[in-house]
Amino acid sequence: MSDHFDEKAKTWDADEFVRQLSSAIGHAILEHTRLNRQMKVMDFGAGTGLISSHVAPLVDKILAVDISAAMLDRLVAKPELQGKVEAICQNILEQPLAERFDLIMSAMAMHHVEDTARLIQTFAEHLAPGARIALADLDKEDGSFHPADTEGVYHSGFERDSLQGLLEAQGFTDIQFITAHKATRDNGREYPIFLVTATRG
């Protein structure tokens, strides 16, 4: 997966599809998540910081977590994120962080993680009691969203009911799904993107 994003990082922010998707998800997070200037936030699968850019002005600090050093290099080079967003290149499923967060947000990263149940558990372990998640990803699709040779894709989206069950199993409450965006690919097909928010009990 890292090699795949090493190359992608070079043109990621210039990709109009990526920009539209990130803008829609960023605005949905702002609309459906209560933010304040005392909050410490984890951006999981932060990439080049397109989602962090929406949230950073409204919170205390963001820790941008990704396993692609090339993507994070682009993030830390952005002047508007300096002093607000710290980047860490680490697999938190294998190496958890010592910090606890008020919010964990993620955009289009969950389908790159093979063990979704373990990922949700890891999120729960990194949250303070009463903290929130805001996770955006693909609704279940037939696998045509990504080109067939795309590396590091473990899921063709997610069933909302199944994901809700995984969240409930980790003690999350107030689970709410919305459709944050409908992404149109070059094949002309439309792919709904959900945002799920929930509170750690």
pLDDT in tens, the chain (201 residues): 444 677 777 777 788 999 999 999 999 999 999 999 999 999 999 999 999 999 999 999 999 999 999 999 999 999 999 999 999 999 999 999 999 999 999 999 999 999 999 999 999 999 999 999 999 999 999 999 998 888 899 999 999 999 999 999 999 999 999 999 999 998 889 999 999 999 998
Tokens coding 68: 């692609």
Q: What is the pLDDT, as a whole number, of residue 122?
A: 98
Q: What is the pLDDT, as a whole number, of residue 129?
A: 92
Q: What is the pLDDT, as a whole number, of residue 80?
A: 93
Domains of the chain: 2-168+182-200 (3.40.50.150)
What Å distances lie between residue 38 and 18, 41, 59, 82, 163, CA to CA?
29, 10, 6, 18, 29
Judge contact between 116 and 93, C-beta under 8 A. no
Q: What is the pLDDT, as a whole number, of residue 1?
A: 43
| Residue 71 exposure: Cα atoms within 13 Å on the Cβ side | 26
Q: What is the pLDDT, as a whole number, of residue 59?
A: 98
Give the phi and the psi of residue 137 in degrees, each rounded to 5.
-165, -175
